[in-house]
Amino acid sequence: MSCGAVIGLVFLVITNLAVIIAFVTPYWVEFRAHRNQGLLAYCQSDSCTWVFEDQYRSLSSFDVTSEWWIATIALVSFGFVLCIKALLLATIALCCDCRGCNASHAIGGILLLAFLSLGVAATVFGVCANKYHDVDVEMTSLIGRRFGWSFWLNTGAAGAALITSFIYVILGRSKSA
């Protein structure tokens, strides 16, 4: 097992954790009155309503049936699935290392697609939340909502997927040389 494979696997685990946490936490948008909106949950100061509950659509501060909202959820879900597949393939590749197979380029390609999916999701959410709901980077006295840490974590996870894809592509080139 090479040092590059271990570094790549560590980065891949960090990327997966970031995607999972960003996806399920209700802090994509933070409101002034102790309310938070995530992709899958809407929380008030003492309780949360999840997307699977009946009253979610009526309580949510956003139109969760709009195209951009559904597109964001679909893109983050696709990025999440790609990151999990890359982790599975990287774990299997560690066992297969002695047999001469090289899965590093495939892992790098999968992570590049995950970067694109997560990055486009962050862009769509950021542009549309700002345009339709006046969500901003900082909370001002006029506008009582801002992008929360889950949104920024998703953006960071997209960057981590890109960096990890570079690590695996470089690792694959060194194996084939």
User: What are 42's strand-pairing partners?
Assistant: 37, 49
Is the residue at 44 inside a domain? no
177 residues of the chain, pLDDT tens digit each = 678 788 999 999 999 999 999 999 999 999 988 899 999 999 998 899 998 898 888 888 888 899 999 999 999 999 999 999 999 999 888 776 555 667 899 999 999 999 999 999 999 999 999 999 989 888 766 668 899 999 999 999 999 999 999 999 998 887 665
Is the residue at 147 inside a domain? no
CB neighbour list of residue 74: distance below 8 Å, 6 or more residues apart: none
d(CA 81, CA 59): 29
Is the residue at 78 inside a domain? yes
Structural domain for 8, as ranges:
3-24+64-141+154-176
User: What are 85's strand-pairing partners?
Assistant: none
Q: What residue ranges in 51-134 does DSSP mark as E strands?
A: none
Q: What is the pTM of this model?
A: 0.91
Instruction: Specify the number of domains making up the chain.
Output: 1
Q: Which amino acid is at 115?
A: F
Q: What residue ranges in 44-177 does DSSP mark as E strands?
A: 48-50, 145-147
d(CA 153, CA 22): 6
Q: Which amino acid is at 133?
A: H
Is the residue at 55 inside a domain? no
Is the residue at 129 inside a domain? yes
Provide the token pair at 123. Answer: 């862009």
